[in-house]
């Protein structure tokens, strides 16, 4: 598979993963979640099960927008570096009910972030995305090793 096609497929799969997490939070059933996301239930089932090769990235992004899911798409020199990551804003709101210590640490981090200049903030964002890409690549490689080591795997 050419590198650009492999990168697009990697982005599709990551978007599907992020959307499946949202779908689980939206309702008890796929029917309820699909209705809230504005997609047919069979399409949501395909997304949840990672069968997205026939769905466009644009379509998956539209569903992410409907879900209010702020994502960052990243490509790279290699398809394994590509990924779709949920931005920090989404994570902050989901952790509001965490422990007091975790909330204090989060508030301290946000306060430090507010003191950064725009240039420092951009530099930190770029470094953060590079680290996320490396993390994603390592996780992908570990998953591939796990798959190859599984009984019955090719």
Mean pLDDT of 54-65: 95
Confidence (pTM): 0.58
* Other CB atoms within 10 Å distance of the CB of residue 59: 16
What pLDDT band is residue 94 in, cutting at 50, 70 and 90? very low
Categorize the per-residue pLDDT at 98 as very low, low, confident or very high, splitting at 50, 70 and 90: low
Q: How far apart are CA 131 and CA 136, in angstroms?
A: 8
**23 Cβ contact partners less than 8 Å away, ≥ 6 residues apart:** 30, 33, 34, 37, 44, 47, 48
């Amino acid at each position: 598979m050419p590198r650009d096609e492999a990168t697009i497929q990697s982005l599709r799969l990551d978007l599907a993963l992020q959307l499946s997490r949202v779908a689980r939070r939206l309702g008890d059933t796929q029917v309820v979640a699909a209705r809230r996301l504005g997609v047919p239930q069979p399409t949501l089932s395909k997304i949840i099960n990672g069968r997205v090769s026939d769905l466009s990235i644009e379509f998956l992004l539209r569903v992410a927008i409907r879900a209010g899911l702020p994502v960052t798409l990243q490509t790279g020199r290699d398809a394994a570096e590509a990924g779709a990551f949920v931005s920090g804003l989404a994570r902050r709101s989901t952790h509001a009910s965490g422990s007091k210590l975790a909330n204090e640490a989060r508030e301290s981090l946000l306060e430090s972030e507010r003191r950064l200049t725009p240039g420092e903030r951009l530099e930190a964002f770029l470094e953060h995305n590079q680290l996320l890409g490396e993390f994603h690549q390592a996780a992908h490689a570990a998953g591939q090793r796990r798959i190859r080591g599984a009984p019955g795997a090719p």
